[in-house]
Amino acid sequence: MSPVVRYLLGIGLPYILRIVLYSEVFRLRTISCSLIGRLVIAGAFILVGLFPFPQFLQLLVMVGASLILIVRNTDAGFPDVLLISIGVEITSIFAMDFLITPLIF
């Protein structure tokens, strides 16, 4: 597999997975959010990845960035926002590391 394809899969698959997870959680919790809002919220991890943080701090900043974006783009309340942000980020990391990546590579 070429390095370009690996790079695109490394960014594209987690992004698509996060879009799907946020869409389903918002649908289950009946939280209104536009498609552009979901794209922006799901893309928070790309911006956080540009900065060289240690792994745990990067996870905290990722959760914080998605938390801020959820508050700005949806009508969700505080406990929902925190739990959605933590749940989607942790689920997407585990799904990519233990389910999707072993199937591809």
pLDDT digits (tens, 9 = 90+) for 28-60: 999 999 999 999 999 988 888 888 889 899 999
Residues 6+ apart with CB under 8 A from 86: 63
Query: What's the rounded Cα separation, in Å, for the pair 86 and 95?
Result: 14
Residue 1 pLDDT greater than 80, yes or no: no
When mean pLDDT is compared across 8-12, 16-20, 30-34, the lowest value belongs to: 8-12
Q: What is the pLDDT of residue 91?
A: 94
What pLDDT band is residue 83 in, cutting at 50, 70 and 90?
very high
> What is the model's pTM?
0.88
> Cα 17 to chain center, whole Å?
7
Q: What is the mean pLDDT of the chain?
A: 90
